[in-house]
């Protein structure tokens, strides 16, 4: 399938729904597509998949370690395996299986972290995954991806199915606006420039690209500040070329992520910039080192400044120095 | 291979396990000696694997969950032609592929193991794939009794029964010792047969050093249609070297030259008496 935006049904659905629909599309033509679930077919929107392809879904019950181990065993026998579980449990409880059975053994499992970040909102910190980028970045032989919109999600799922490397994909369950951009190609490890501006750079990932865009519109309208917006969907391998390119003329840089401010996109960008002698003003927006305030995903975003207003305020402060 | 030939093999493998552990100055001596007869029968009698066609999708799979006793696996793979035995001179040496736990960098190794409690889930996944693809291959995994408290084993045990994996056989190397002491004192898993039976497995007991019993038991697989098979192999940690047998310190003890010479003498005697 050609990876252009014209070829997909343009939607504003939850990325989770696009994941499920894409997988069904793929499974129809490929008997080797196997979904492994840990009582997560409902929350993974995979009930229709299970009904249409009962021989291509393996249920292990609420047992994430076994989920990943079984998925690795299936992959080693040639299956294209999507192991689906809430990101919080998948990447913490089954971390050793991810490290050893998937990445180290090079079993090309596609680890699908559903309802990632703070998607579960007021269900609280047990259900939040604010550690997954940090932890998984340190595991060799694993691609880490957080698609921003329905286009990126569909492309990421299709690419993941075909790549012979392990991939971790995480997304939420909120409807996401389609990013309007000239860039209609999608590749792991290549960030997408959503908008170009000469005063400021905002590098965001996953569901924080939308508030970053909102901030850029506010900055433009209210302060005449033109921001470049990058959707950095792949956290690893990180697109260092693009970071260097957007940082080249010294513009202030803000990173935004639905993740701890420790160890994620922001720190990955910061270490690259520092090691390569960039001295741009720099700000990381994410969840601080605390168990989050109670609220919906949107309320938590607003509380910690992952919002049009919050990012706008941070940009104005950063520009002042 | 006749039982007599297998018996000679077991002695040869014990010599080599010690040789390369002494050379590397590291290794899991006691456990390698407890599981070697099982590996001997698997690789010289039971498994449908071929060093020249290891990529065959129809091959039987052997996944060593108790990865620390890798020396046993390496000497058996070398003798089956997967790589030249001389490679083992580099065991645990700087830049060697032959690290102290199974790695796919070594021809013939199915999965990278070493962290305990992983082999059974990997085996369940591989066995499910075999069922989905209507293949006749079988999946074998070797568990240690010390690793059974890892909860992932029991998650996998449930799945194996749930999916009626009669193409899966787990062998428990029940040598009753682990690094801290007797397994029964550290975290008792007995009666382990009843536990697996309750989980839906068909269980048999064997003397894990009786080559004839091992052959016959593997020949009888699957023990029940629609059920995974568990072989509880009663073994002796350090088996074959009298001063190592049932002695905790040989969990990963390395013999000195004098002890090594004594061990070889004992093994020579065993060889003569076959």
B115 chain-A contacts, CB cut-off 8 A: 96, 100
Q: In this structure, which topology does domain A192-320 adopt according to CATH?
A: Rossmann fold (3.40.50)
Cα angle value B158/B215/B274 (rounded, 5°): 140
User: pLDDT, tens digit, for every residue of A45-54?
Assistant: 999 999 999 9
The parent domain of residue B229 ranges over: 3-272
Cβ contact, residue pair A79, B132, below 8 Å = yes
Residues across chain A: 321
Nearest in space to B166 (alpha carbons), one of B144, B140, B195? B140
The string over A205-216, giving b where at least 16 C-beta atoms fall within 10 Å of a residue's C-beta and e elsewhere, is bbbbbbbbbbbb
Of B122, B152, B162, Cβ closest to residue A73: B122
User: pLDDT, tens digit, for every residue of B4-32?
Assistant: 999 999 999 999 999 999 999 999 999 99
User: pLDDT, tens digit, for every residue of A256-305?
Assistant: 999 999 999 999 999 999 999 999 999 999 999 999 999 999 999 999 99
Domain residue ranges of chain A, discontinuous segments joined by +? 9-170, 192-320
Cβ contact, residue pair A105, B104, below 8 Å = yes
**Mind telling me how many Å the CA of B213 is from chain A's nearest CA?**
30
**Mind telling me how many Å the CA of B214 is from chain A's nearest CA?**
26
Distance CA B18, CA B33 (A): 9
CATH entry, A9-170, from 3.40.50.10490, 2.40.10.220, 3.40.50.1000, 3.40.50.970: 3.40.50.970
Q: How confident is the model at residue A1 (pLDDT cuts 50, 70, 90)?
A: very low
Mean pLDDT by 10 residues, chain B (274 residues): 96 98 96 98 98 97 98 98 98 95 97 97 98 98 98 98 98 97 96 98 98 98 98 98 97 96 98 96
Same fold for the pair A9-170 and A192-320: yes
Chain B residue at shortest CA distance from A56 = B132
Distance CA A123, CA A312 (A): 28
Cβ contact, residue pair A66, B111, below 8 Å = no
Q: For residue B175, what are the contacts with CB-CB under 8 A and spacing of at least 6?
A: B30, B31, B34, B144, B145, B235, B236, B237
Task: Cite the DSSP H helix spans in chain A.
Answer: 15-29, 47-52, 64-76, 87-90, 95-97, 132-137, 150-162, 209-218, 240-247, 265-275, 297-303, 308-320
**Mind telling me how many Å the CA of B159 is from chain A's nearest CA?**
6
- The total number of structural domains in chain B stands at 1
Of A63, A66, A76, Cβ closest to residue B111: A76
What CATH number does the domain containing B187 carry? Answer: 3.40.50.970
Distance CA A254, CA A285 (A): 7
B120 chain-A contacts, CB cut-off 8 A: 69
Distance CA A56, CA A224 (A): 53
Is ipTM over 0.90?
A: yes
How many CB atoms lie under 10 A from the CB of residue A292?
A: 18
Chain A residue at shortest CA distance from B150 = A65
Q: What is the side-by-side order of every strand in the sheet holding A227-231?
A: A192-195, A227-231, A200-204, A253-260, A282-287
Cβ contact, residue pair B132, A76, below 8 Å = no
**Mind telling me how many Å the CA of B111 is from chain A's nearest CA?**
6
Q: Evaluate whether A187 touches A241 at the Cβ level (below 8 Å).
A: no
A34 chain-B contacts, CB cut-off 8 A: 132
- Hey, what are B75's tokens? 């000497």
Residue A5 has pLDDT above 60, yes or no: no
Interchain contact B156–A (C-beta under 8 A): yes
């Amino acid at each position: 399938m050609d990876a252009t935006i014209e070829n997909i049904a343009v939607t504003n659905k939850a990325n989770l729904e696009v994941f499920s629909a894409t997988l069904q599309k793929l499974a129809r033509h490929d008997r080797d597509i196997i979904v492994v679930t840990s009582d997560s077919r409902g929350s993974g929107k995979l009930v229709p998949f299970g009904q249409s392809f009962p021989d291509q879904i393996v249920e292990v019950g609420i047992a994430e370690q076994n989920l990943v181990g079984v998925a690795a065993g299936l992959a080693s026998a040639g299956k294209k395996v999507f192991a689906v579980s809430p990101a919080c449990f998948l990447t913490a409880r089954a971390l050793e299986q991810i490290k050893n059975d998937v990445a180290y053994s090079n079993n090309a499992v596609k680890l699908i972290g559903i309802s990632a970040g703070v998607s579960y909102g007021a269900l609280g910190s047990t259900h939040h995954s604010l550690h997954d980028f940090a932890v998984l970045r340190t595991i060799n032989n694993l691609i880490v991806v957080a698609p921003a919109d329905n286009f990126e999600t569909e492309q990421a799922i299709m690419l993941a199915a075909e790549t012979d490397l392990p991939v971790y994909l995480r997304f939420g369950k909120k409807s996401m606006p389609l990013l309007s951009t000239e860039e209609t190609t999608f590749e792991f490890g290549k960030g997408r420039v959503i908008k170009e501006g000469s005063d400021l750079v905002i590098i965001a990932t996953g569901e924080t690209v939308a508030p970053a865009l909102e901030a850029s519109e506010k900055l433009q309208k209210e302060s005449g500040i033109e921001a470049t917006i990058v959707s950095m969907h792949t956290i690893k391998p990180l697109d260092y070329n693009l970071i260097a390119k957007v940082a080249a003329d010294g513009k202030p840089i803000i990173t935004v992520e639905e993740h701890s401010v420790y160890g994620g996109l922001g720190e990955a960008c910061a270490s690259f910039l520092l090691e390569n002698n960039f001295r741009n003003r720099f700000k990381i927006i994410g969840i601080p080192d605390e168990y989050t305030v109670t609220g919906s995903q949107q309320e938590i975003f607003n509380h910690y400044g992952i919002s049009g207003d919050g990012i706008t305020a941070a940009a104005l402060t950063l520009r002042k120095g | 291979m006749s039982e007599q030939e297998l018996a000679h093999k077991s002695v040869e493998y014990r010599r080599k396990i010690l040789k390369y552990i002494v050379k590397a100055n590291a290794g899991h001596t006691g456990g390698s000696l407890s599981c070697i007869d099982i590996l001997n029968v698997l690789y010289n009698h039971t498994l449908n694997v071929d060093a020249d066609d290891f990529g065959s999708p129809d091959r039987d799979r052997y996944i060593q969950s108790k990865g620390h006793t890798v020396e046993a696996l390496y000497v058996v793979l070398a003798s089956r032609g997967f790589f030249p035995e001389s490679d083992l001179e580099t065991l645990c040496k700087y830049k060697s592929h032959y690290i102290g736990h199974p790695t796919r960098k070594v021809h013939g190794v199915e999965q990278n193991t070493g962290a305990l409690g992983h082999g059974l889930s990997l085996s369940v996944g591989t066995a499910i794939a075999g069922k989905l693809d209507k293949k006749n291959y079988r999946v074998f995994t070797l568990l240690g009794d010390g690793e059974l408290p890892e909860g992932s084993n029991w998650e996998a045990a449930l799945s194996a029964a749930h999916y009626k994996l009669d193409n899966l056989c787990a062998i428990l190397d029940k040598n009753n010792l682990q690094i801290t002491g007797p397994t029964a004192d550290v975290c008792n898993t007995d009666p382990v047969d009843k536990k697996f039976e309750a989980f839906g497995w068909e269980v048999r007991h064997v003397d894990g050093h009786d080559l004839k019993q091992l052959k016959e038991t593997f020949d009888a697989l699957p023990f029940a249609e629609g059920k995974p098979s568990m072989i509880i192999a009663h073994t002796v940690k350090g088996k074959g070297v009298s001063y190592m047998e049932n002695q905790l310190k040989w969990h990963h003890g390395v013999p000195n030259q004098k002890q090594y010479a004594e061990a070889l003498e004992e093994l020579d005697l065993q060889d003569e008496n076959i």
